[in-house]
Amino acid sequence: MNKGIKIATIGGGSSYTPELMEGFIKRYHELPIKEIWLVDVEEGLEKVSIDAQMAQRMWDAAGYDVKVHATLDRNQALKDADFVTTQFRVGFLEARIKDERIPLSYGMLGQETNGAGGIFKALRTIPVILDIVEDMKRLCPNAWLINFTNPSGMITEAVIQYGKWNRCIGLCNVPVIAMMKEPEAIGYRKEDLIYQFVGLNHFHWHKVFDKQGNELTSKVIEAMLEGKAVGLPANINNVPFFHDQIKRLGMIPCGYHRYYYRQEEMLKHSIEEMNTTGTRGQQVKKTEEQLFELYKDPRLDHKPEELAKRGGAYYSDAACECINAIYNNKNIHMVVSTQNNGAIPDLKNESIVEVSCLIGGNGARPLAWGPLPSAPRGWLQVMKAMEECTIEAAITGDYGTLLEAFTINPLIPMGASAKKVCDELLLAHQKYLPQFTDKIKQLKEEGLLIKDAVVRNLVENEQ
Amino acid sequence: MNKGIKIATIGGGSSYTPELMEGFIKRYHELPIKEIWLVDVEEGLEKVSIDAQMAQRMWDAAGYDVKVHATLDRNQALKDADFVTTQFRVGFLEARIKDERIPLSYGMLGQETNGAGGIFKALRTIPVILDIVEDMKRLCPNAWLINFTNPSGMITEAVIQYGKWNRCIGLCNVPVIAMMKEPEAIGYRKEDLIYQFVGLNHFHWHKVFDKQGNELTSKVIEAMLEGKAVGLPANINNVPFFHDQIKRLGMIPCGYHRYYYRQEEMLKHSIEEMNTTGTRGQQVKKTEEQLFELYKDPRLDHKPEELAKRGGAYYSDAACECINAIYNNKNIHMVVSTQNNGAIPDLKNESIVEVSCLIGGNGARPLAWGPLPSAPRGWLQVMKAMEECTIEAAITGDYGTLLEAFTINPLIPMGASAKKVCDELLLAHQKYLPQFTDKIKQLKEEGLLIKDAVVRNLVENEQ
Amino acid sequence: MNKGIKIATIGGGSSYTPELMEGFIKRYHELPIKEIWLVDVEEGLEKVSIDAQMAQRMWDAAGYDVKVHATLDRNQALKDADFVTTQFRVGFLEARIKDERIPLSYGMLGQETNGAGGIFKALRTIPVILDIVEDMKRLCPNAWLINFTNPSGMITEAVIQYGKWNRCIGLCNVPVIAMMKEPEAIGYRKEDLIYQFVGLNHFHWHKVFDKQGNELTSKVIEAMLEGKAVGLPANINNVPFFHDQIKRLGMIPCGYHRYYYRQEEMLKHSIEEMNTTGTRGQQVKKTEEQLFELYKDPRLDHKPEELAKRGGAYYSDAACECINAIYNNKNIHMVVSTQNNGAIPDLKNESIVEVSCLIGGNGARPLAWGPLPSAPRGWLQVMKAMEECTIEAAITGDYGTLLEAFTINPLIPMGASAKKVCDELLLAHQKYLPQFTDKIKQLKEEGLLIKDAVVRNLVENEQ
Amino acid sequence: MNKGIKIATIGGGSSYTPELMEGFIKRYHELPIKEIWLVDVEEGLEKVSIDAQMAQRMWDAAGYDVKVHATLDRNQALKDADFVTTQFRVGFLEARIKDERIPLSYGMLGQETNGAGGIFKALRTIPVILDIVEDMKRLCPNAWLINFTNPSGMITEAVIQYGKWNRCIGLCNVPVIAMMKEPEAIGYRKEDLIYQFVGLNHFHWHKVFDKQGNELTSKVIEAMLEGKAVGLPANINNVPFFHDQIKRLGMIPCGYHRYYYRQEEMLKHSIEEMNTTGTRGQQVKKTEEQLFELYKDPRLDHKPEELAKRGGAYYSDAACECINAIYNNKNIHMVVSTQNNGAIPDLKNESIVEVSCLIGGNGARPLAWGPLPSAPRGWLQVMKAMEECTIEAAITGDYGTLLEAFTINPLIPMGASAKKVCDELLLAHQKYLPQFTDKIKQLKEEGLLIKDAVVRNLVENEQ
């Protein structure tokens, strides 16, 4: 790789791109990038252009000789790439808003990676990522695919199990934030703690130890229950966990566990939010517009503070760290989505899990955790089953399989309303769900209408 | 055993006792019973006496020399028993009504074996069954324990795993009814079909084959979806399953799956029922009173028709069939709760499962099913995890473990209301939950009140 | 099947054919056979003709209207067959003699289903059975394949896993003989015992219970150690097991375990046998010639006594019993080779195992055994690994894989001599090992000679 | 631990002690040791005194203030120790010689960690290590036990599973030597390679990758087959592996695999060695005497060159490295024996395995490997079963269990001779096998004699 590294970023027109650039710039001394290709689709042309110019300014200001390209031609970007990062969002934020509002309009959780919304985000994204993988087989067969498009775990599972592409690592900012915030909450320095994570993407727990191997998990639990910020992503409402339950659990849940452990309150909060400030997607849309206004400023040549407010902050930095660890065979501890291989013996060997890994020149090697107690074991198994049904439905377009995914999803109370939610989501996302064409056609013939007016508008505007 | 068989029936004062007698009487030619001991607790004295007299009349009418005893002394009943059947209900139907009404009063499913109610039925029953097992170790160490107290699967797991009593089989009428009704719905005779069941108690699926090994499962599914009665227990509301989902599933769900596959409608129906006819428990209470009025009639010497209307019909007949199969080493196919041992490889070897078994002189030998597809696999795994938490909480009295069971139960949307339901149930059942004494004391000190007036009355009447 | 059953028997020219006929004749009242097709290859023409005439005489004497055909045309025989039985021997008894003498000439066990010989029998047979399966897919897609060609377990695994033909059951006479002889050795009647078998073909253990579920295993072990014949096939030398070891094991080993538990003596005995009476294959060859002389007699119309002396006695009767149980959905207990599906949780779900099964209209359903103690668990795992390597080598013709099978085989002390044995066997069986053509050519070019003169002669005569 | 580290070394009178000292001395800058206690038994008093003086001279020469104590009082040594290292040999080299000569005298492999010898080394050592663990629970409950007494894997399994002491890591020099020698054999630097090890102690394979994740395993295999030294311990005869087999295997075997993959030659070589230079134990005894002569020299203050010739070289250095990694939470890659926890999904979670681990402040965290192909999977499973039987026999003293271990051991051809070997070993080691007292008494009463004169002499001298 002494020619200098080529990076291709799919979904290059994301508002996170400056964070990604910052991450690369601060690692340039050991990660000698030569060129960066930001790829996007037609509708994202303006944003990717703004990003590319902003990015180029950042590199220039840093004084490194790196060329940033914006392109709509994925082939050109992928050709001989060393690392491909994926941060695209099929259907843009409008799709996220649909994922949120349709379930909420029936009194069910609307969220982009949990419940019905999470299932549909996977349905839209998986066919696209599998296309990308086919391109990579032709154009850059030795490249690493560093995915941070959500739902990151399911995307990674689709890439590895169905796309048969093993050089893929799925990233998430949730463990990063936890490891960043918890130490000070319990009066330690980050480098003096040992972390062990186990679970699935957006559904993991962890334990903490000091350097002598003494467990500090309960300390963090106490701090969390006292209300100390211990690493909650910005997009998640801070309802406290039930003390007795978490003490019994003996592991620190991740922020997203609130959707399951405090289902009632999280749902209520989401409905209130929709009715007041708008859903998270609607809020983010505004933030994004503001960010791109900033990025347009030809004098801006560094990542603006405002970006950190988004829920996905540190995602891109984690990607840079991961690429660096692979490129330089650093053998560092990171928490990523990779093939289980026994690390969680309660799940299949071939399942994708998100666990503590050693990251080095041959990718991610998961640390074996051993068997889990009843409750976390059952949770992981049911969530993985839901993921499997979802991935299968995304690939086959089978409506019965999709209903199976809905039924087993712990956040969806199955019944006529839930089926309605499913059908409306199919209709609302029709542009991005070619695998369900027949079913959608049938729904239209049956005269299905979308209940929520905001979503109806979004759909009409698309046509 | 040439001395003639001794049967001890714990919970002998049940309204099902005449069915049990009928079952024994019709098998007497190969099952030479000598004496039957109906045991009950103080509060059940009247009912057990009525049952014993009724039972004696039935035996006398049949012309067999069998002596029926009613007793409050479990030791006397268990001494040298050959078979012990358990059909007791800790806290009587009043407890069932609490299990139903408290969750429903918070808009959650109230049911005696599902959701919060099912968890609490287990909490009350497990300590009692473990006491019985200890008595059996002393008094009848070679006896078989045939359990049909619900939740039958969890009770059997507690007996085998915690009580270390292997000669235990858990029974359920749900598979019996399915195998009784389905054949005619698809135009076959019962003896011409091959059945394969897999799952847990009240949570199993099955496949059907003709004698040539051709699968008829989809025929039964079609019949079921056309609304034909294919074996729904009397206590379950007949909401249709979603056609596409069940076709994809490729197995016939059991009646109780409605609580999960049509959660919304089942909940709605339960609330309506509570507000009109009263909950199932309240209805059953009336039926039971009527039944005992009938049983009092000194001229009645056979099982009255009215008994068949109860949800538990055929339960006792299944028990007789099972006892007969063991006693005569019949090696027949029955669907019972027994130790997994690999029959469902997706669950632990030591878990109790409800599957097709060969029943003979050394008990139940499960038929190996092999791995399940994603959705049913995930369902069984999460339900088993919930059962494990519940059993553990029943034994330890740990409140955090109980919250874990609540959280992972797919019918409980966790949050403040669910915790309220949990706490009210603890309070309402305090008389039967000695293992939770401290927690209940704390709840009282905090001034917890039970919201539902009917339940409040029941509790007050107990004191 | 009201047309009357059609049976096709591959390897119809076997000396066991009269036993098969006898088995069918005595079950004719419930198994209405119409026609039987005995298929063999060119070299077996004379024998299959003798068998067919003998068989026809047997049916005629029984007074049933069944037509027996001899043919070299497999297609004609398979066309619309209901049951296909396989009892062929690729390379005839000459091949068996090679399997025995070549290893023995290097001081290693020479046996037709164990050690190097067993591996080579599988290498020759698997390609042929897979061809048969392809024919069956075309000609009789609903037929059952009842295999009793050895090594029966590996053949069944090849058929099901590689041939993707699920309607296959592998048979063996060893459990049959055990269940026939043991009862009287401990003073019981066969119908009063409950048997549980677990393991692989020619490598299983079992437990015995009386009708009340009391374990009698140690009684049988005592009887066996006292020297009582408890079911040893005629071809196996009766070296006693080590008492302390078997008591600790707590299960009754099968006759073939002697090759592993008393390796030294079994090897010594085989060498002595070779040097005196000739190997078992050489003895059997004589017996077979005598049998066919008998069969030629136009007055003989029943199975002659002499046939029972062969090691494979009762094999064909087991096949008839199995066919009967399937045809009439009898749901009886038989010990057969079928897909594991969790019955032995220590092996993969898809592995073929030989265990207690329920045999009925949809084939064999294995009874779940649960986990095994260390020693038997390890034995099954290593033997299955050896089988897997062998099957893979049989299909791919990869020499390295074959060496892996040799190395892991517990009866082969790996090294230069064992490699010599392997190479000589390749050369000796070249006619029947097309998948190894290149390797065999190389061995010839290197001037490899076969050490044993008898085998050299056999090979020369073939050319 | 700011008081300075206290090290207790059980078996302190070993000839490897200077290597251990050297390892500590070169890491002193980050591993601030205060005191080292060398413990031994009465018979080892002279050697441990020589070692302690030699060690003190080494520390003094290095200029560090570390005090070395020699003691026979284990309590004093363990009290408040931070790390306990175990390098003792129950019965000294005389026991090793017995382990070698008795099997060889019957034509079976005699080796200290393989075959019958390895089993008996475990039988002698396990009761002693469990005693040490009980002492540690009293005297130093937070200490780490770093074991390098062989058979290291079984000892570690006994400590963790039976002793319930989790802070234990088992070490071996074999992976160390491989990683030291292989890089130059293929023209790489050690730091540019990524290693992945999987298996059991003295029975593991590995793969090698360059920093870009490209697999170099076949390069090392080629080098090995060309005869290049790629890390064979000094005590193992260099018979080449079979090329085709290893290529098919696709992993690099460890030196000890020669005993299984070239069983014939290794046995032959051992017999020749016994008949010429004496067994390895006899050779080592001489080397040891020479070493202690050197150590006595009051001018010698550094590890002499001669020590490196022993098979166990680098063992002690690995121990120092491991202690350093724990003490300083270094999170480095080492190959050690630790609890599986799913790292090798083909073995039980609780089994001890020897795999690539991350070593840091909370001990060893194994890297998950995933499922293995048939042959290595079967090998590990059978070896682990053998280990389990051996450990159980060591604890219970059950003779039947010991025979089970013998029977399943792939290097022991079971039969009368093998049982003879077992019995003679019991007799020869009677002083160190109190758990087998009754059996040994019985053997004596039966007049059992030891065949080999050298061993007979050793035993007589002990009495």
pLDDT digits (tens, 9 = 90+) for D117-130: 999 999 999 999 99
Contact B372, B381 (CB under 8 A): no
**Any domain includes A99:** yes
Q: B198-245: per-residue pLDDT in tens?
A: 999 999 999 999 999 999 999 999 999 888 878 787 778 889 999 999
Give the pLDDT confidence score for residue B141 in this predicted structure: 97
Contacts of D217 in chain A (CB under 8 A): none
Compare all CA atoms of chain D with the CA of A192 and give the residue at the minimum distance.
D329
Per-residue confidence (pLDDT) for residue C231, from 0 to 100: 78
- For chain C, the chains sharing at least 3 beta-carbon pairs closer than 8 angstroms are B, D
Amino acid identity of B286?
K
Domain termination residue (choose one: B170, B193, B208): B170
Q: Could you tell me if residue A107 is inside a domain?
A: yes
Question: Do the Cβ atoms of A413 and B408 come within 8 Å?
Answer: no
Query: pLDDT tens digits for C12-63?
Result: 999 999 999 999 999 999 999 999 999 999 999 999 999 999 999 999 999 9
Average pLDDT over residues A68-97: 97
Q: For residue D317, name the pLDDT band (cuts at 50, 70, 90).
A: confident
CATH number at D18 reads: 3.40.50.720
Q: Average per-residue pLDDT in chain A?
A: 95
Tell me the shortest Cα–Cα distance from B401 to chain A, in angstroms.
6
C-beta atoms of D408 and C379 within 8 A:
yes
pLDDT in tens, B98-127: 999 999 999 999 999 999 999 999 999 999
The reply to whether A413 falls in a domain is no
Chain C contact for B166, CB < 8 A?
Answer: no
Contacts of B324 in chain C (CB under 8 A): none
Q: Does A188 touch chain D (CB under 8 A)?
A: no
| Chain D: closest CA distance from residue A463 (Å) | 47
Question: Would residue D386 count as lying in a domain?
Answer: no
Any CB–CB contact under 8 A between D188 and chain A? no
CB contact under 8 A, A378 and B401: no
Predicted pLDDT of residue B334: 97
Q: Which of C16, C195, C256, C432 is catalytic?
A: C256
- Residue D76 · residue D68 · CB < 8 Å: no
Identify from C248, C267, C271 which residue to disrupt to test chain D contact, counting D C-beta atoms within 10 A and taking the largest count. Answer: C248
Which residues in chain B are contacts of A407 at CB distance < 8 A?
Answer: 245, 260-261, 375
pLDDT the model gives residue A310: 73
What is the three-state SS of B447-463? CCCCCCHHHHHHHHHHC
- Our count of domains for chain D comes to 1
* pLDDT tens track for C203-220: 999 999 999 999 999 999
* CB-based contact B9:B20 (threshold 8 Å): yes
Tell me the per-residue pLDDT of A3-37, one tens digit each, with 9 for 90 and over: 799 999 999 999 999 999 999 999 999 999 999 99
Classified as helix, coil or strand, C227 is coil
> Is A330 within the bounds of a domain?
no
Instruction: Tell me the percentage of chain C whose pLDDT exceeds 90.
Output: 92
Average pLDDT over residues B61-81: 97
Q: What is the DSSP letter of D229?
A: -
Helix then strand then coil, % of chain B, to nearest 5: 50, 15, 30
Average pLDDT of span D143-150 = 96
Q: ipTM, 2 decimals?
A: 0.96
| pLDDT digit string, tens, across residues B331-367 | 999 999 999 999 999 999 999 999 999 999 999 999 9
List chain D residues with CB under 8 Å of A349. Answer: 345, 370-371
For testing the chain B interface, which of C206, C351, C365, C377 should be mutated: the one with the most B CBs within 10 Å? C365
pLDDT of residue D229: 73
pLDDT at position C2, please?
Answer: 52
Determine how β-strand D144-147 pairs with β-strand D83-86: parallel
Residue-level pLDDT at B278? 96
Q: Is the pLDDT of residue A272 over 70?
A: yes
Between CA A23 and CA A28, with CA A27 as vertex, the angle to 5 degrees is: 115
| Domain membership flag for residue B19 | yes
Which band of pLDDT confidence, cut at 50, 70 and 90, is reported for residue D337? very high
pLDDT interval class at D2 (50, 70, 90) = low
Would you say residue C152 has pLDDT above 60?
A: yes
User: End of a domain among B140, B170, B200?
Assistant: B170
pLDDT of residue B1: 43
Residues of D that are catalytic: 256
Query: Token pair 């087959």 is at which residue?
Result: D225
Portion 349-388 of B in contact with A at CB < 8 A? 374-375, 377-379, 381-386, 388
The predicted-structure confidence for C265-287, as pLDDT tens digits, reads as follows: 999 999 999 999 999 999 999 99
Q: A2 falls in which pLDDT band (50, 70, 90)?
A: low
Contacts of D338 in chain A (CB under 8 A): none
**What number is the average pLDDT over the span D3-24?**
95
From chain C, pick out residues whose CB is under 8 angstroms from the CB of D265.
415-416
A131 close to A312: Cβ distance less than 8 angstroms: no
Choosing from A16, A106, A195, A256, which is the catalytic residue? A256
Q: What is the pLDDT of residue C460?
A: 93
Cα C22 from Cα D296, distance rounded (Å): 86
Using the CB atoms, write b or e for A325-363: b if 16+ within 10 Å.
bbbebbbebbbbbbbbbbbbbbbbbebbbbbbbbbbbbb
User: Do residue D378 and residue C386 have CB atoms under 8 angstroms apart?
Assistant: yes
- Split at pLDDT 50, 70, 90, the class of D87 is very high
Give the containing element (helix H, strand E) for D33: strand D33-39
Instruction: Provide the pLDDT for residue A462.
Output: 85
Q: Is B71 exposed, middle or buried, given 0-12, 13-18 or 19+ CB atoms closer than 10 A?
A: middle
A245 touching B (Cβ < 8 Å): yes
Q: Does residue A20 form part of some domain? A: yes
Within the 394-433 window of chain B, which residues sit less than 8 Å (CB to CB) from chain A? 398-401, 403-405, 407-408, 410, 413-419
Q: Which of B16, B195, B256, B432 is catalytic?
A: B256
In a domain, B345, yes or no: no
Please determine, for residue A1, whether its predicted confidence score (pLDDT) is greater than 50: no
So what's the pLDDT on residue A314? 82
* Mean pLDDT (whole number) for B297-323: 86
List, for residues A198-233, the tens digit of each pLDDT value: 999 999 999 999 999 999 999 999 999 888 877 787
Q: Which of A328, A339, A349 is most worth mutating to test chain D (most D CB atoms within 10 A of its CB)?
A: A349
Q: Mean pLDDT of all residues in chain C?
A: 95
Contact B264 A389 (CB under 8 A): no
What integer pLDDT is reported at residue B2 of this predicted model?
52
Evaluate whether D341 touches D187 at the Cβ level (below 8 Å).
no
Q: Give the phi and the psi of residue A81 in degrees, each rounded to 5.
A: -65, 150
The two three-digit tokens of residue B331, written as one number? 């090696």
Task: Decide if A248 touches B, using CB distance below 8 A.
Answer: yes
DSSP 8-state assignment for residue C114? S
DSSP assignment string, C162-179: IS---SEEE--SHHHHHH
Confidence tier at B311 by pLDDT (50, 70, 90): low
| Last residue of one domain, picked from the residues B170, B188, B207 | B170
The percentage of residues in chain D with a pLDDT greater than 90, rounded to a whole number, is 92
Rounded to whole angstroms, the Cα distance separating A70 from B370 reads 52
CB contact under 8 A, B407 and A265: no
Residue of chain C nearest D388, judged by CA positions? C374
pLDDT tens, residue by residue, A165-193: 999 999 999 999 999 999 999 999 999 99
Q: Which structural domain range is residue C403 located in?
A: 397-462
Rounded to the nearest 10 degrees, what angle do helices A416-428 and B263-275 cross at? 140
